[in-house]
Structure 1
């Protein structure tokens, strides 16, 4: 090992590095003199032939100081379990992992997110999750009788894909279309004339940017055609987003919040691998720099960071 590598922190960026976010993060690391090891999780695994017990291309027997998780690919239950197992193992080795497997598991599974939001006393729409179709029908019947609509969401899903508005029992998807799990959330009517919600980007325990998403319909995801508008969040809204990220253990997160007609803010979701290109389009801040700075502050001792800056 050369003297240069001795002061160069060993950082792993999990993802293929080819998407907009991966390239943006690599540029941010490069501006700090760091060339992270880019490792798609499908290329990684476990091995008793290495000192760490892990097989991560580019590391060999070396234990990295930090691992940043940009993307976990889909796959079979076994494949995804292995990917998360690698992140669990890195944490056990003392590596700083953003976000670690516990936070990702809590956010990817919307029902678990709901549990932690409620446990922390944070406001969220009434939500029900289970596998029994009859119970799901009972939930819909009860909410409809109270003059509410219901949003059916995939338990694992993002970017507004697969969500549907349920107004009667007949609107419920068949079990095979929801992978056997019904995740039902009370629909929150818009507080304004049109549908909108907030996306707050939390990083290192603070909100670094926020926006309002104006939907062309009740689905307000940017990928579904919503328009982003830069917005300054109130102190109460910032506090809610920070607490929401903290309750699931997320070091960085996109927190989605909607305002009810009575003015109450409700947390809809906490995203542990959020996209921020839509938010970047409406803010002058270079968000990748904020993310990388906060991550490095957590992953590297101050002496190592100072040595890198002075090199």
Structure 2
């Protein structure tokens, strides 16, 4: 079987093209389309209208990016991913995993319930509720306000007093607050670990003069010393498992006491900065893991071979 892989991305970029190239190099047939271009069509055998593979279903779907849009548009796109799973097409990452990671409050809830270290987190609606949380928690130390849906460090601010809380219009009525984890700095340092297929395949530390160390905010990617890698890998793999992610970028922080905590799990991660210090080709690692998953799945579904008894000649 030649695997048919559908890469869905609402943005055309180098990472999607790199994934397609690595998959083709390994013998797969690959098509890349925006998720927005896949429709529901109950006149087709699958119930989906897919502008690729001549109407045939892919053997797997690889989700690279989903652009923002209206509530209706995003709901429909996630519905398409749910529909692929319903017709037995594996999706990396699944709609459920993406939903869990896009909503940071759900991510931290699942991390906590998996017994993993993560900063104390509070997610409430309305300024009055946020002020009540802040009044109770600020005497213990600052809080970090993050967009519930957000990435790459955008919109993050430190809350040290009640007046630091923004108006509800600035946060779409939802206040997602995390305990600020004290750590040495400046320079400040945290980690990004890339997990794929149940293994940590690459990691970096990010060093910056600002406590927000995202690469797009000026953080510098650096190699992680060998002595720190095992603990980071173990925690990152457990975090990806907690949200059901087949591949993910896990953000981890070490506080002033040396404790590692998971900050976020990114189900549609970028890896340009990480690739600059990684020993492996990250796109190739994803391609290898996905095709191995499909091969193992096909083998498990194959009917067992009949057992032939050998009859002795002198019987």
What CA deviation, in whole Å up to 9, does each residue of 1:167-215 have, x standing for no partner?
A: 1111111101001100000111223552110100000001001000012
Q: Does 1:263 align with 2:258?
A: yes
Query: Which 10-residue stretch deviates more, 184-193 or 236-245?
Result: 184-193
Q: Does 1:248 align with 2:243?
A: yes
Number of the residue aligned with 1:207: 200
Q: Which runs of 4+ in 1 moved over 6 A?
A: none
Number of the residue aligned with 2:272: 277
Number of the residue aligned with 2:310: none
Taking the TM superposition and a 5 Å limit, the aligned residue runs for 1:183-202 are 183-202=176-195
Q: Distance in 1 between matches of 2:203 and 2:99?
A: 24
Number of the residue aligned with 1:37: 31
Q: 1:205 to 1:220 in 2, by over 3 A?
A: same
Query: Which 10-residue stretch deviates more, 169-178 or 14-23?
Result: 14-23
Contact 2:11 2:65 in 1 (8 A): no
Q: Please report the TM-score for the alignment, with normalisation by the length of structure 1.
A: 0.92
Contact 2:121 2:177 in 1 (8 A): yes
Query: Which 10-residue stretch deviates more, 201-210 or 60-69?
Result: 60-69
Superposition RMSD on alpha carbons, in Å?
A: 1.5
What CA deviation, in whole Å up to 9, does each residue of 1:137-159 have, x standing for no partner?
A: 1222222212x111100000000
Q: Please report the TM-score for the alignment, with normalisation by the length of structure 2.
A: 0.91
Q: Distance in 2 between matches of 1:237 and 1:286?
A: 20
Q: Does 1:153 align with 2:140?
A: no
Number of the residue aligned with 1:308: none
Q: 1:266 to 1:302 in 2, by over 3 A?
A: closer
Q: CA deviation at 1:31?
A: 1.1
Q: Does 1:129 align with 2:123?
A: yes
Contact 1:52 1:61 in 2 (8 A): no
Q: CA deviation at 1:133?
A: 1.6
Query: Which 10-residue stretch deviates more, 134-143 or 259-268?
Result: 134-143
Query: Which 10-residue stretch deviates more, 197-206 or 225-234?
Result: 225-234
Q: CA deviation at 1:260?
A: 1.1
Q: CA deviation at 1:16?
A: 5.0
Q: CA deviation at 1:38?
A: 0.8
Q: CA deviation at 1:35?
A: 3.1
Number of the residue aligned with 2:213: 220
What CA deviation, in whole Å up to 9, does each residue of 1:107-128 have, x standing for no partner?
A: 0000000110011010100100
Contact 1:17 1:38 in 2 (8 A): no
Query: Which 10-residue stretch deviates more, 188-197 or 78-87?
Result: 188-197
Number of the residue aligned with 2:77: 83
What CA deviation, in whole Å up to 9, does each residue of 1:49-83 have, x standing for no partner?
A: 21110111014542211000001111011101111
Contact 1:254 1:270 in 2 (8 A): yes
Q: 1:125 to 1:16 in 2, by over 3 A?
A: closer
5+ residue gaps, structure 2, are: 300-315
Contact 1:123 1:267 in 2 (8 A): yes
Q: CA deviation at 1:299?
A: 2.5
Aligned partner (choices 17, 22, 30) of residue 23 of structure 1: 17
Number of the residue aligned with 1:101: 95
Contact 1:15 1:38 in 2 (8 A): yes
Q: Distance in 2 between matches of 1:219 and 1:139?
A: 23
SS in structure 2 of the partner of residue 234 of structure 1: helix
Number of the residue aligned with 2:134: 140
